[in-house]
Structure 1
Amino acid sequence: MRVRWAVVLVASVTAVTAPMTGLPGLPDAAASASSVPTSASASVPTSVLGATVPASGSLAGPVPGNPNGRAVVPLEARAVDTSRPNRVVGNGTPASCTSQAVVNAVAAGGIITFSCGPRPVTITMTATAKVRNARPRIVLDGGGKVTLSGAGKRRILYMNTCDQAQGWTTSHCDDQETPQLTVQNLTFADGNATGQRADGGGGGAIFVRGGRVKVVNTRFVRNRCDPTGPDVGGAAIRVLDQSRDRPVYVVNSTFGGAAGQGGACANGGAVSGIGVSWEILNSVMTYNTATGRGANPARGGTPGGGSGGAIYTDGNRFSVRVAGSVIQNNSAKEGGGAVFFVSNDRTGTLLIEDSALRRNRSAGFETKGYPGIFFLGAGRPKIVRSTLR
């Protein structure tokens, strides 16, 4: 998986501004508490027996994503109708919404909703919820009221079609059509995949290999994975392989949102993929950090990593499209304060449209003329009606 490149392009401070026609981005103060409260400690439960009702200013408050984003969302990327669930976590009270109930529901699959009472709740996961590979579809819908917390101790959600412990369903595990996982109207907080190095590790909130995954109307705050290493990434989401090379959709979602709320990992402070395409639509990525040191592959005497403050992608043929989104105030100790993109065979493409990338610090290197971006792929990044500075 290691990225092999020999040329480092020196950092540039040149601003790139494509023609603008009413940028559908947040204002310069976009990462204010109106997106995600700067202090969410009140939502951390004092008991792990069930869900707790957070005080005012909980994570399950403002609508996630970029409210001014105007990217068209394809039908397959939209939220799933969950009006007729197969399973409901809880019986109407916070105490009934337990970690074990979530684990059981995810293992059983189908459309899953929550009944935890009228107020927002946080469910502290005492174990990682794992998708069984024989399940064709899993939809996890928090109704805008549910936070799943890893308590800074564990990964929250896991799906891996090549993990025989979750059921072996095909000899082509890296390209099977199912399971198809949707998470929507949720908050994932304080997930931590540190030390989880199987299949490259990463994915403090969500790890996926195979099948399909999409994320809609969801918030990710304070998620973590290993702080150093050249082959680990995705503080919030790590994806390896998708069926028929279809993209991962991230729609109307927020990663970080305010100072102190962002994710941190060796690479990819928000999301990371290997040979995986992404469509990030009408979303916000702010205050995320790539914490590694030594880049990929690691320079001698360093532990490696530090690339992709928000987005880290590598592999061969894949694409990344960012549309109607705001990516700002992210940082990388090495390259690509906003986006690190390396297509090893130089066939991959990067498209940024109707978006704003601002104040994303690349401490080591970035591609000249593209502030916050390090790109090795087909041609040059395509920037349409967007601002980079």
Structure 2
Amino acid sequence: MNSLVLLFVLGVGVAGLPACGSAAAPAAAPVTAAESADAPAVTPMAEPSARTGLGAAKPSATPSASPFRAGAQNGGAAVPAEARAVDTSHPTRTVGTGTAASCTSDAVVRAVAAGGIITFDCGPAPVTIQMKATAKVVNSHGPRIVLDGGGKVTLSGGGKRRILYLNTCDQAQGWTTSHCQNQDHPQLTVQNLTFADGDSTGDRTEGGGGGAIFVRGGRFKVVNSRFVDNHCDRTGPDLGGAALRVLSQYENKPVYVVNSTFTGGVCANGAAISSIGVSWTVLNSVFRDNRAVGTGANPARDGTSGGGSGGAIYCDGNEFTVRIAGTIIEGNRANEGGGAIFFVSNDRTGTLRIEHSTLRRNPSRGFETRGFPGIFFLGAHPPTVTATTLS
């Protein structure tokens, strides 16, 4: 997207500056915990049934003695039915036959390509599966694809490759409708999994990004999962998503991120999650120590390669919404705008809501919106903030 960011610094104060357009950002009033508004309605959507099909790991160095935990344990935000974990008690297929050695990269790749509800049987100890290739969804399979690691499986890109890929407009994965950018399937869910050391650096397909997971089209949700030390290209004005890059969701229905944790991501922009024209609902999650390392913003200033915005979250496009509730965003940073959140709605129709959350210590080295520490925002009106700490 062609986002216009004009950067200037007045003393030590930093003001909200225009991006993705020439209109100046409205001056925002200081945030108080008393601000409130009704939560947006969520229209339930029935889960489609899975279709039948098919069905080198190593033990983690120190098997965990405690149960798998992700997200903000005391977030408190209500989770709508369609955002909850999928029942995987009757899987379509299982990766592994009870041992760590049976849980291989090839087995994961074949299971994802076949679709359906996928679980893992890798033995009693936590395992890390080193992915030798990116697992790619075949668009005619499913229509529902669910990966459930049971809290014991880490899928690792080894710092060499993206881990998981869905793209309804990729002819190599099959076109299933005449409107690939707006179809309700496949519906991909990842739950009870860790995605570590994914890296999409150098892969500029669909604009690049998505170090751990890239999604275009269909529907996507993340439940009770962890994203650790994922990377994507360090430069680029609109490239992002060290953990997640998402484009073109069906009828602009939101991507749900529930009870999940994002740490150590590094990318040009959106060092945890990034999107163009996509709505998000983020509930009871944690974003910590992610870094947007590009320089020059969007569009790139003369003599720069661009990027550096959205230390944790980068959202661009026209009409879209972002709702964040029960979530902690801390210790993230951006070389340019929005140490925590960069939000630009080009046509100024987009809205941002933050409820019962904590955003702290998210420095924006270039610019942010006055009165909203760690946030750069251009949209329909100033962000709606309820019972939230911004510091």
Is the TM value for this pair above 0.5?
yes
Shift in CA distance, 309/368, structure 1 to aligned 2, threshold 3 Å: same
Shift, 1:56, TM fit: 2.0
For residues 185 and 320 of structure 1, do their structure 2 counterparts lie closer, same or farther at Cα, with a shift above 3 Å needed? same
Indicate which of 204, 213, 216 corresponds to 2:220. 213
Structure 1 unpaired stretches of 5+ = 22-49, 257-261
User: Partner residue of 1:98?
Assistant: 104
8 Å CA contact 1:64–1:217 kept in 2: the answer is yes
CA distance in structure 2 between the aligned counterparts of 1:174 and 1:324, rounded to whole angstroms: 31
Q: How many residues align?
A: 356
Secondary structure of 2:181 counterpart: helix
Deviation of 1:326 (Å) = 0.2
Report Cα offsets for 1:333-356 as digits up to 9, x if no partner: 000000000000000000000000
Map 1:131-170 → 2, pairs under 5 A = 131-135=137-141, 136-170=143-177
Listed as ranges, the matches of 1:47-66 within 5 Å are: 50-56=56-62, 62-66=68-72
Distance 1:20 1:59 in 2: 42
In structure 1, what is the equivalent of residue 319 of structure 2? 317
Q: Conserved in 2, the CA contact under 8 Å of 1:60 and 1:147?
A: no
The alignment status of 1:194 with 2:176, answered yes or no, reads no
- What's 2:40 paired with? none
Cα distance in 1 for partners of 2:229, 2:30 equals: 30
Task: Quickly say closer, same or farther: Cα 1:60–1:53, change in 2 above 3 A.
Answer: farther
Matched-pair contact (CA < 8 Å) for 1:111–1:140: yes
Give yes or no for contact 1:122–1:146 (8 Å, CA) kept in 2. yes
1:27 — aligned with what? none
Contact map agreement 1:4 1:344 (CA 8 A) in 2: no
Aligned position for 1:288: 290
Match of 1:109 in 2: 115
Contact 1:51 1:98 in 2 (8 A): yes
Match of 2:79 in 1: 73
TM-score by length of 2: 0.88
Instruction: Give the alignment partner of residue 16 of structure 1, picking from 31, 34, 37.
Output: 31
Displacement of 1:115: 0.2
Q: What are the superposed Cα offsets for residues 290-319 of structure 1, whole Å, 9 maximum, x if unpaired?
A: 010000000000000000000000000001
* In 2: Cα distance, 1:83 partner to 1:20 partner: 42
Kindly report the root-mean-square deviation, in angstroms, between the aligned alpha carbons of the 2 structures. Answer: 1.9
**Following the alignment from structure 1 to structure 2, what is the Cα–Cα distance between the partners of residues 75 and 269?**
28
Whether the aligned pair in 1 keeps the contact of 2:279 and 2:321 (CA below 8 Å) is yes
Greater mean deviation of Cα atoms: 61-70 or 104-113: 61-70
- CA distances 1:41-99 after superposition (whole Å, capped 9, x unpaired): xxxxxxxxx11101226699640000011111010000000000000000000000000
Structure 1 residue aligned with 2:186: 179
4+ long deviations beyond 3 Å: 4-10, 12-17, 57-62
Contact 1:155 1:193 in 2 (8 A): yes
Alpha-carbon distance between aligned partners in 2 of 1:88 and 1:79, rounded to the nearest angstrom: 18
Please report the TM-score for the alignment, with normalisation by the length of structure 1: 0.89
Q: Is the 8 A contact 1:340 1:373 kept in 2?
A: yes
What is the Cα deviation at residue 3 of structure 1? 1.7
Match of 2:3 in 1: 3
The answer for the alignment partner of 1:128 in structure 2 is 134
Match of 2:352 in 1: 350
Task: Measure, in 1, the Cα distance between the counterparts of 2:232 and 2:177.
Answer: 29
1:253 is aligned to 2:256: no
2:223–2:260 CA contact under 8 A, matched in 1 = yes
CA-CA distance at 1:4 after TM superposition: 3.2
Q: Calculate percent identity across the aligned residue pairs.
A: 69
Aligned to 2:336: 334
Alignment gaps of 5+ in structure 2: 17-28, 37-55
Distance 2:178 2:276 in 1: 20
